[in-house]
Structure 1
Amino acid sequence: MDYLKLSGKNFLVTGVANRKSVAWHTAKLLEEAGATVIYSVRSEQRKESLAKLLAGKPVYICDVERQEEIDRLRDEVAAEYDVLHGLVHSIAFADYSSGWLPFHETPRAAFLQSVDISCYSLIALANAFKPMWDEEASIVTVSISTTRMAAENYGFMAPVKAALDSTVCFLAKSFSKFSRVRFNAVCPGLLKTSASAGIPGYVDSYLHAEKATLRKAAVQTEEVADAIAFLLSPRSSGINSQGLVIDAGMGTNYFDESLVRPDQTSE
């Protein structure tokens, strides 16, 4: 039974890095549902590293910092497929090579590059593929559960994700002038991914976030992929210009007694 009505549809999935990626878990769900997944990776090196994982699947190369590569990706995909029914935008990058700096010392070049890759790329891809989107296509990006919690180690990436959240709204409004294409974001709590491993002090933050969830168990990447598949499907047709928070209740549980009084044990 094709409950999500994804069978026979074409989806462009960006950002697969390895088996831990949100993009990879989502792609597997889509393929299991009978959809065709078209993969876009950032470099030839990344394509080679994914050779076993993506064997026999359509894989294209696109560095989203380069408009000419985005245009080339569109042309290459258009040569093989007539229509796209959705996009998974799972692209984010932050250069922390300068070390763990106070936010006010954020390097200009690093901040602007992060905005370009993590946020502007959604605009560029949506616009480049405009002729290919199905009338009711669904485009989903990956944000974070809150951009209002100033975690020092996450640094300038939170403001960049805030820009991404706003971009979702503006794209939804802009595309509504000529189509029914939907734009939404999934906003997960802390996950175990390779990308997160590059954030200074991430493990400590992850373990704390797990304690703050209502179920005392961290959000799983598969749970985020499930939500993305739903937002890509016609079953979510009434959802547009939204951010779907997936944090296992963490956002309502900051003052849990176990966090406020960690040294006291219940009798």
Structure 2
Amino acid sequence: MSFLQFENKRFLVMGVANRKSVAWAITKTLEEQGAEVIHSVRSPERLESLKKLLGDRKAYICDVEYPEQIEALAKEVGQAHGPIDGIVHSIAFANYSEGFKPFHETVRKDFLQATSISAFSLVEVANAFKPYLSPDASVVSIGISSTDVTAENYGYMAPIKAALETCSYNLAKSFGADTRVRFNTVNAGPLKTSASAGIPGYIESYLYAEKLTFRKQNLSTQEVANTAVFLLSPASSGINGQGIVVNAGMDRNYFDKDVISAAMRPD
């Protein structure tokens, strides 16, 4: 048996968007280690766009904005493939209906919708799947490493990602009353994904973050996936209710001499 012990294990990965997404890197790594992966995507249109990528893998449609679709997904997947050994929640959505604004001008309906989809959906997914999870299943969510940092080009999503982390920790406590199911988050630094490409000013933030890493090289999507896969495995059985930061030391290097020198250089 391998160290990660994925033989005969079955996982649900929620949120594959394209070949560059973290969810897809997790899928490929799980399969390489011998696991079976089932997918859920948010719409028929997304499923159609992924047809070539997913091939003959099992895939279901679930828009987590609607609780009834989460309930239906859990019942369908659980009855057809259960018990499920783990779930990956790699879902985020923000509707900047009036463009990027200062945080104090955030539109209530946009904020609440993004919170429902990006954070509270984890609670609803966990509750719906509880009867279909194996006794020692692992649920992993993809967060960000800097929810306490005010990044203008990330809009209001930092506090929502913080809410996702808090939901995960509280689920660990709640499920711990009668199961050994674990909940953890992977808090990733800036990544080069298709989703990030659409954020105004993101490339500048991405390049700045790279200068703050100890190695002067930003993360790869695979590095984030590797951490998620470890947390899904029995090898990480002692880790529960945690947020694992994966950012190459970015948040420990604010006073890097090269960054300071560049910032203080006269115009």
Relative to the length of structure 1, the TM-score reads: 0.97
**What SS does structure 2 have at the residue aligned with 1:143?**
strand
- Displacement of 1:198 after TM fit? 2.3
- Displacement of 1:79 after TM fit? 2.9
Partner of 2:163: 163
1:213-256 per-position Cα deviation (integer Å, ceiling 9, x unaligned): 00000011000000000000000000000000001011111110
- Within-5 A mapping of 1:196-211: 196-211=196-211
The one-letter code sitting in structure 2 at the alignment partner of 1:247 is N
The one-letter code sitting in structure 2 at the alignment partner of 1:245 is V
The structure richer in helix per residue is: 2
The 2-side partners of 1:131 and 1:63 are apart by: 21
The 2-side partners of 1:251 and 1:51 are apart by: 38
Partner of 1:96: 96
Partner of 1:29: 29
The 2-side partners of 1:185 and 1:166 are apart by: 10
**What SS does structure 1 have at the residue aligned with 2:91?**
coil
1:149-169 per-position Cα deviation (integer Å, ceiling 9, x unaligned): 111111210000111111111
The one-letter code sitting in structure 2 at the alignment partner of 1:244 is I
Q: Which runs of 5+ in 1 are unaligned?
A: none
**What SS does structure 1 have at the residue aligned with 2:117?**
helix
The 2-side partners of 1:149 and 1:263 are apart by: 19
The 2-side partners of 1:147 and 1:165 are apart by: 9
- Within-5 A mapping of 1:70-219: 70-219=70-219
Partner of 1:56: 56
The one-letter code sitting in structure 2 at the alignment partner of 1:137 is A
With over 3 angstroms needed to count, the CA separation of the structure-2 counterparts of 1:127 and 1:264, relative to structure 1, is closer
**What SS does structure 2 have at the residue aligned with 1:6?**
coil
- Displacement of 1:81 after TM fit? 1.3
The alignment status of 1:259 with 2:259, answered yes or no, reads: yes
Q: What RMSD, in angstroms, separates the aligned Cα atoms of the two structures?
A: 1.3
The 2-side partners of 1:80 and 1:2 are apart by: 27
What percentage of aligned pairs have identical amino acids? 57
With over 3 angstroms needed to count, the CA separation of the structure-2 counterparts of 1:263 and 1:160, relative to structure 1, is closer
- Displacement of 1:28 after TM fit? 0.4
**What SS does structure 2 have at the residue aligned with 1:129?**
helix
- Displacement of 1:99 after TM fit? 1.3
Q: Which runs of 5+ in 2 are unaligned?
A: none
1:139-190 per-position Cα deviation (integer Å, ceiling 9, x unaligned): 0001100211111111210000111111111100000001000000000100
Runs of 4+, deviation exceeding 3 Å: none
1:81-137 per-position Cα deviation (integer Å, ceiling 9, x unaligned): 130000000000111231121000001011001100000110010000010111100
- Displacement of 1:263 after TM fit? 7.5
- Displacement of 1:264 after TM fit? 8.8
CA contact (8 A) 2:213 2:248 kept: yes
Relative to the length of structure 2, the TM-score reads: 0.97
**What SS does structure 2 have at the residue aligned with 1:150?**
coil
The one-letter code sitting in structure 1 at the alignment partner of 2:31 is E
CA contact (8 A) 2:13 2:37 kept: yes
The 2-side partners of 1:138 and 1:47 are apart by: 25
The one-letter code sitting in structure 2 at the alignment partner of 1:239 is I
CA contact (8 A) 2:214 2:250 kept: yes
- Within-5 A mapping of 1:219-258: 219-258=219-258
The one-letter code sitting in structure 1 at the alignment partner of 2:170 is F
**What SS does structure 1 have at the residue aligned with 2:28?**
helix
